[in-house]
Chain A
Amino acid sequence: MPDWSIDIIITLIKIVVVELVLLTGVAYTVYAERRVSAFIQHRYGPNRVGYQGLLQPLADVFKLIMKEDIVPERANKFVHSLAPAISLFVALSTFAVIPFGDKILIAGKEIKLQIADVNIGVLYILALLSLGVYGITLSGWSSNSKYSLLGGLRSSAQMISYELSMGLAVLGLILINSSFRLDTIVMNQYGWKWNIILQPIGFITFLVASFAETNRTPFDLPEAEQELVGGYHTEYSSTKFALFFMAEYAAVIVSSAIITTLYLGGWQFPYLQTFGLPDMAVSIIQVLTFCGKTAFMVFFFIWVRWTIPRFRYDQLMNIGWKVMLPAALTNLILTAIVITIIKLNS
């Protein structure tokens, strides 16, 4: 077999594994959300299907697929079906550039634990996140319902506003690492040199913007139940609704993974190399570290959702433009100044 076909097969295997893990993760994030919310509200949550309700996600999937697929009469059918697909596509394909571990050696071949190591990884993530808004906006428009439309409009305004501060927050990181490559960014976070310590303002800005980009509480205005019924997915049912549902939780996982990679050291386990473990064990620990950090961030997302109330729309815009943007800009300028001073001294 020629060399390049092996590479293609390896990449395909990586894709399949990652997506399977991601989708399973999505199912169990939904379950986790229900259990955690129940815990926070002193309830039981789903505990009947399987041990402690662990098979609940499977039951949910069957329920949703069995339902009738309703398309509103005057909706634009094509766009109506396109929208959930866009949402899920964007959420799933973002994972392509995220490194979930260092290299491993299998049968003498070095394999990178990352689907695509592109040199503009950060930009790729930002670009795909910025496309996520289409799913919501188009679903809002195509449903031909005022609640959906309002949800869609709110989300496009919200996402555009927060994308800016998100991008600017990341620029601070780019200045430090002088690379758009995610691999390099993770590599530079060895020991305790995590970016959350180097870039606290950038981290907070990025975190808040991530909440806004994923439409999670306290920024879930596009689907505010009290005002908009279900927001942009009011008119969706069955599989298409399931797609939106999956897209939302996939976005949460992906955002957590991005935050982990950019600010929490990615797969780096502090001082792991000094323990003198075998290579394979090191790799496995690194992957598990990555999963653990991501899981913590997912838990954080859920935790915030059930603790903090929703913003009002004008508050949302004020925070976006008058707090987040100046904060991100200040962070950028401060970082630039500090880097210049360090460079002048050395």
Chain B
Amino acid sequence: MNIETIIFLVFGITAVVSAVLMVTRKNPIISAIFLILNFFTVAVIYLLLKAQFIAIIQVLVYMGAIMVLFLFVIMLLNLKENKKPSEYSFKKITAILISILLALLLGTSVYFGFQGKQMNEVAEKIGTAESLGRTLFTTYSFHVLAAGMLLLAAIVGAVMLAKKKFE
């Protein structure tokens, strides 16, 4: 076992465990903390895939900005811990079963889809900021513009819905 496999296993397992804990915790803040942990582990996995830029953007955007806002909102809402004892209802069990089935289905299909494949040289270079920037502003320049429209629409929409006094 080489060092990359070990790192992958450690962070992969942490990612799964933190995701499960995120869903099962009762306290929303603790859930959020586990989600942050999950994002971090995913960032490390990106690093293993030689996508440094994506990894750092994951940390910068998801951990550094989005989750801070999440925490901010949760704190402002002042949610009380859900004190009700957990019930094992029919709904819950079916939900768990279906999600396990889905995970197995997706997992096996992806596993057999990629089994034995190695990263090629092109893929290894794609993750750097230089190549990503070049692709983004040449091949995908339309998408950059369209994404700008999308974000502007979202901002205008958010203001429309949330502003106290409109007009």
Q: Per-residue CB proximity of B43-65 to A under 8 Å, as 1/0?
A: 00000000011001101100111
With A79-B33, A120-B53 as contacts: A149 and B75 at CB distance below 8 Å: yes
Chain B residues within an 8 Å CB radius of A156: 68-69, 71-72
Instruction: Return the contact of A133 from the options B30, B68, B75, B129 (Cβ within 8 A).
Output: B68
Evaluate contact between B68 and A160: CB separation under 8 angstroms: yes
Q: Per-residue CB proximity of A129-153 to B under 8 Å, as 1/0?
A: 1110110011011000000010011
CA distance A131 to B72 in the complex (A): 14
CB of B22 closer than 8 Å to a CB of A: no
Instruction: Return the contact of A79 from the options B29, B64, B129 (Cβ within 8 A).
Output: B29
Evaluate contact between B52 and A141: CB separation under 8 angstroms: no
With A119-B129, A149-B75 as contacts: A127 and B65 at CB distance below 8 Å: no
**Residue of B at shortest CB range from A174?**
B129
Chain B residues within an 8 Å CB radius of A120: 52-53, 56, 129
CB of B42 closer than 8 Å to a CB of A: no
Evaluate contact between A163 and B65: CB separation under 8 angstroms: yes
Chain A residues within an 8 Å CB radius of B128: 119
**What is the distance, in angstroms, from A116's C-beta to the closest C-beta of chain B?**
12
| Residue count of chain A within 8 Å CB distance of chain B | 27
Evaluate contact between B64 and A123: CB separation under 8 angstroms: no
Instruction: Return the contact of B59 from the options A131, A149, A163 (Cβ within 8 A).
Output: A131
Instruction: Return the contact of B65 from the options A138, A149, A153, A160 (Cβ within 8 A).
Output: A160
Evaluate contact between B72 and A153: CB separation under 8 angstroms: yes
CA distance A23 to B107 in the complex (A): 47
With A79-B29, A123-B56, A137-B72 as contacts: A130 and B65 at CB distance below 8 Å: yes
Evaluate contact between A123 and B68: CB separation under 8 angstroms: no
Evaluate contact between A157 and B72: CB separation under 8 angstroms: yes
With A153-B76, A157-B72 as contacts: A123 and B65 at CB distance below 8 Å: no
Evaluate contact between A130 and B52: CB separation under 8 angstroms: no
**What is the distance, in angstroms, from A78's C-beta to the closest C-beta of chain B?**
8
Chain B residues within an 8 Å CB radius of A119: 52, 128-129
Instruction: Return the contact of A130 from the options B27, B63, B75 (Cβ within 8 A).
Output: B63
Chain A residues within an 8 Å CB radius of B15: none
Chain A interface (Cβ < 8 Å from any Cβ of B): 76, 79, 118-120, 123-124, 126-127, 129-131, 133-134, 137-138, 140-141, 149, 152-153, 156-157, 159-160, 163, 180
Can you give 22 A-B contacts (C-beta < 8 A)? A76-B29, A119-B52, A119-B128, A120-B52, A120-B53, A126-B60, A129-B64, A130-B59, A130-B63, A130-B64, A130-B68, A133-B64, A134-B68, A137-B72, A137-B75, A149-B75, A153-B76, A156-B69, A156-B71, A159-B68, A160-B68, A160-B72
Given contacts A76-B30, A133-B68, 18 further A-B pairs with CB under 8 A are A76-B29, A79-B29, A119-B52, A120-B56, A123-B57, A123-B129, A126-B64, A129-B64, A130-B64, A131-B59, A131-B64, A134-B36, A137-B72, A138-B33, A138-B71, A156-B68, A159-B68, A160-B72
